[in-house]
Structure 1
C-alpha cells in the first residue's frame, strides 16, 4: 500500500490536470475567505497554498521535512516574545510525523539497511527505558511523562530513523551546517542588540522581552546591573552554549580549510559568534570549546595540530587563570570566573542541591518519573520535592526523573553514539567528509560536556541539531568516496 501511494504522489509532479484543478479550487476558496473574513481571509489565502506545497514536498521528498524541522526549531524560543497563540512546538511535532509518514510512503527509495547501526540501537534502548518510566510508581503525576518524553527520547528516535534511511547527500549536510551558522550569526546580532542597542540608537530590549525578564527571568539574567543576553533562545545559558558550539564549528572549518579567502571568512565568523557567547555571560559554555576542541585535536591523531594549538591555547589559559588582564570588561571577567568554580557561589549552591538530591534519591534507583522535575514538575506537581529543587543540569534532571539506573543507561547511549562516530571517522578516506564529520562529532562532544552545568541537551534548537547530527556522523561511511 505505501508503495502504491508513493507512486500515485510521484505522478502529480507532471500532471497538468492536477495543478489546473487545484488552481480553480484555490481561486474559489480565496473568494469565499476574503468575502467572509477580510484581511485574515487574505492571509489565509496566502498560507493555505504554502501549507499544501509544504505538505506535498515533504511527502514526496521527506528530507525536505528534516531541513524544515531544523529551521523551525530555532523559532521555538522566539515565539514566546510574540503576542500570539501559535503553537510552534505542536507544529514541529506534526511536521516530524509528516516527515516520518513521507519516509514510509517512499519506502522503495529508502536505505533500510542503515538502521543496523550501533548508534540507533543505543537510542532504541534509551527509548525502551523511558517508556518503562511511564509506569514508575514513584511518579507524582504520570501524565506529565508526555511533556518531557519528547525531548528525552521520542524526537531523537524519530529523527534518527528518518535521517538514517533517507537519501541525504553530503551537499545536504553542508547546507544544514551553513544554515546552522547563518542562524547563529542572526542570533549573535540579536544578542548584540540586547547588549549594545542604545549605542546605535536602538532599543536594547523589546517590550515582550522586558515582560519576560520582569516575570522572573531577571533574577538570573541581570547580575550586578549587567544583562546576560539571551537573543531568541530559551535563556542565556542555551544562547551562550549554542554560540560556543558554533564558534567551535567555525574554528574547525578554519583550521581544515586550504583556501585563504574561506579561512578568513571562517575566522571572522568564529570571532563574531564567540563574542555572542561572551555577551551571554554563560561561563560554563567555555567548556563546549575546551571539550570539543580537545576532542578535535585527539581525533585527528596528528601531533602538529596539538603543538600549534598548545602554543596558542596555553598562554590564553594562563592569562585567564593567573592574571586580571581584561577584568574591566565584564564579559572577559565572566569567562575568567568559569575557570575558578570553587570561588563561584552559584556553583557551590549547585553542589549543595546535589547533596540534597543524593539524600532524596538514595532509595529511588529509578527516580521520581519523567516529568516530575523542572518545567513539567513545577506545572503539574509543584508540591513534590523533585519540582522544588532546581536541577541546573541536564544530567541532574535525568538523575531525578529516571534515577541512577536511567542516568547510567543515558550515559551508555551517549558513549555508544560517540564511539560509533569515532569508529566511522577513523575509517574515512575522503578529506572533505572527514572535516564535515569532525565538525559534527566534536560539537556534540562539547555539548555533552557542558550539559553537566546547563540543561541544554534537551532544549530546542540544540536538541534538534544534535539529534540530527548524531545519526549523520554515526553513518558517515555513506558519503566516503575513498
Structure 2
C-alpha cells in the first residue's frame, strides 16, 4: 500500500487519502447512529493498534502503561463495572512478555542472574506447592491469591531488569509514579471537599461504609481499594518527594518535590489511616542511615523528634479529624489494636499444628468467597504479615520475612556503595517508600495490593539495577557550584560543596 501511494503523484495521493478519510468518517457516523457504544469500541480499537505499534517499537512503554493501569483500574471497577478489571494486569504482563520474547536478541538476559529474581522465583515455587496443602483449601481461592502474592512480582521484576536499562528511564518511572500518586491525591481531595462519584457512593453503600464512614466522617480512599491502601501509599510518596527535595538537583525540581510532599501529606491525613505514621517513621530512618550527609541527618532527626513530640504529648489540632486519627496511632491501648491482638491469639492456637498454614486463599477476601467451610476464613487478618502466617504457616512466614529482610538489607548495601550522588538519592527515595510499605503491611494488607505492590516491585528491581547505571564517577565540580545545578552524576565531594 505504501509503495503504491508512493508511486502516485501528489494530486492523486491527496484524492485517495481524502476519499478514505471521508469513508472512515461516514463509517464511524453510521456505527454511532446504530449503536453509540460501537463508536467507543472502534475508538478503543484504534488506540489499541497505536499502542501496539509503540509497544513493538519500544517494549518498555508497556511497563509504563502497566504502572499506570495498576494505579487507575479502580476507576473502571467502580465507575464502569461489568468485569474483573484486575485481570487486565495479567493481560498487559502477558503482552509485554510475548513481545520481549519475540525480540529476545535486543536484551541482556544475563541481568536476570541476580538474587532478587531468584528469590521471587523461589517464592513463586513455594506458593505453587501450597496447592497441595493438606488442609484442603479451595483451588479457586489459591488461584486468586497467588496472583498478588507471588505471580505479579515474579513477572514484573525481571521486566524491569530487561527494559529499564538506563538512568533516564528510571527517572521517567519516578516521574510517572509521582504524577499518578498526585492524581490520586487530587481525587481524594475531591472526595473530601466536593463529594464522591456515583460509583464511589455505590461502593460505600454496598460494603465500604462500615470502615470508611466513621462518626459521619469519610475516610478518603480515592481510586484505591480502601483508605488503608490510599493512606500508606500517600505516606510512601511523602518520603519519595522529601528525599528528592533534599537531593542536589536543580532548585525548581526541589520546589516541585516539596509541593508534591505537601499534597501527599494532606492526602495521607484525609485517609484517616493511622498506620501511615509508621511509613513515615521507617522511611525517615532509611534516609538518616543512607544519605551520608551530616546536616541532613541532624535536621531530619530534629524534625522527626519534634513531630513525634507534637503527636504524642500535645492535643494541638485534634479538631482536624485526619490529624486526630494520625495521633491515635501512638495510643497502644486503642480498641481496634486490641482486637487485632486477640485475633492473632486465636490464629496462634489454630495454627499450632499447621506448620505450613491453611493454604493460599484460606483467609481474607478469597477465604470468605471460596473457603467458607474453613475456620480461618472467619478471622480478619487485618495484616499481610498475619495473612502470610495463616496461609503459609510459621515455615512460610519465616521464609518470607527472611527474604524481605535480605532484600531490604541488600538494597541498603547497594545504595551505600553508589558513587553517583543523584542516583543514590533516587534509590534512597524508593527504598524509604518501600520499607514503609513493608512495615505498614503489619497493620494492613498493603504490599500485596495495587498500587503499593507495583511500587515495591519497581523499587526493589530498580535499586538492584542501579549498579548498572553507576558505571563511572564524574569529575568533581568547582567551588562555585550552586545548589540549583543538576549534580546527578556528581561524587561525594560535590555533595559536601553543595551543602557547605
In 2, distance between residues paired with 1:26 and 1:475? 47
In 1, distance between residues paired with 2:244 and 2:252? 12
Which residue of structure 1 lines up, in the alignment, with residue 289 of structure 2?
298
Structure 1 residue 16: Cα displacement? 3.6
Q: Is the 8 A contact 1:62 1:100 kept in 2?
A: no
Aligned 1:81-230 pairs, distance under 5 A: 81-197=78-194, 204-230=195-221
Deviations 1:299-337 (A, max 9, x none): 224433221112222122112111111112221111111
In 2, distance between residues paired with 1:18 and 1:62? 30
Which residue of structure 2 lines up, in the alignment, with residue 385 of structure 1?
375
Deviations 1:48-73 (A, max 9, x none): 22112222332332211111000011
Q: TM (normalized to structure 1)?
A: 0.90
Matching residue within 342, 346, 357 for 1:367? 357
Which residue of structure 1 lines up, in the alignment, with residue 262 of structure 2?
271
1:237 partnered with 2:219: no
Q: TM (normalized to structure 2)?
A: 0.87
Q: Secondary structure at the match of 2:352?
A: helix
1:452 partnered with 2:410: no
In 2, distance between residues paired with 1:28 and 1:50? 19
Deviations 1:64-89 (A, max 9, x none): 11110000111222223213325422
Residues 130 and 117 (structure 1), Cα distance of their counterparts in 2 relative to 1, 3 Å cut: same
Structure 1 residue 219: Cα displacement? 1.2
In 2, distance between residues paired with 1:327 and 1:141? 46
In 1, distance between residues paired with 2:205 and 2:40? 33
In 1, distance between residues paired with 2:434 and 2:212? 26
Select the structure of larger CA radius of gyration: 2
In 1, distance between residues paired with 2:300 and 2:27? 66
Structure 1 residue 34: Cα displacement? 6.1
Which residue of structure 1 lines up, in the alignment, with residue 396 of structure 2?
406
User: Number of matched residues?
Assistant: 459
Which residue of structure 1 lines up, in the alignment, with residue 496 of structure 2?
none
Which range moves more in the overlay, 260-269 or 402-411?
A: 260-269
1:60 partnered with 2:60: no
Which residue of structure 2 lines up, in the alignment, with residue 10 of structure 1?
none
In the alignment, structure 1 segments of 5+ residues that lack a partner are 1-14, 198-203
Structure 1 residue 141: Cα displacement? 1.1
In 2, distance between residues paired with 1:33 and 1:171? 40
1:248 partnered with 2:221: no
In 1, distance between residues paired with 2:253 and 2:119? 37
Which range moves more in the overlay, 212-221 or 61-70?
A: 212-221
Which residue of structure 2 lines up, in the alignment, with residue 466 of structure 1?
456
In 1, distance between residues paired with 2:36 and 2:77? 24
Matching residue within 330, 338, 358 for 2:348? 358
Residues 87 and 27 (structure 1), Cα distance of their counterparts in 2 relative to 1, 3 Å cut: farther
Q: Secondary structure at the match of 1:283?
A: coil
In 2, distance between residues paired with 1:216 and 1:84? 15
In 2, distance between residues paired with 1:182 and 1:61? 22
In 2, distance between residues paired with 1:287 and 1:17? 63
Q: Secondary structure at the match of 1:343?
A: coil
Which residue of structure 1 lines up, in the alignment, with residue 384 of structure 2?
394
Q: Is the 8 A contact 2:236 2:432 kept in 1?
A: no
Structure 1 residue 25: Cα displacement? 10
In the alignment, structure 2 segments of 5+ residues that lack a partner are 7-16, 474-500
Which residue of structure 2 lines up, in the alignment, with residue 48 of structure 1?
45
In 1, distance between residues paired with 2:45 and 2:329? 50
Deviations 1:318-368 (A, max 9, x none): 12111111112221111111111x221011100000000000111111111
Which residue of structure 2 lines up, in the alignment, with residue 326 of structure 1?
317
Which range moves more in the overlay, 167-176 or 119-128?
A: 167-176
Aligned 1:417-428 pairs, distance under 5 A: 417-428=407-418
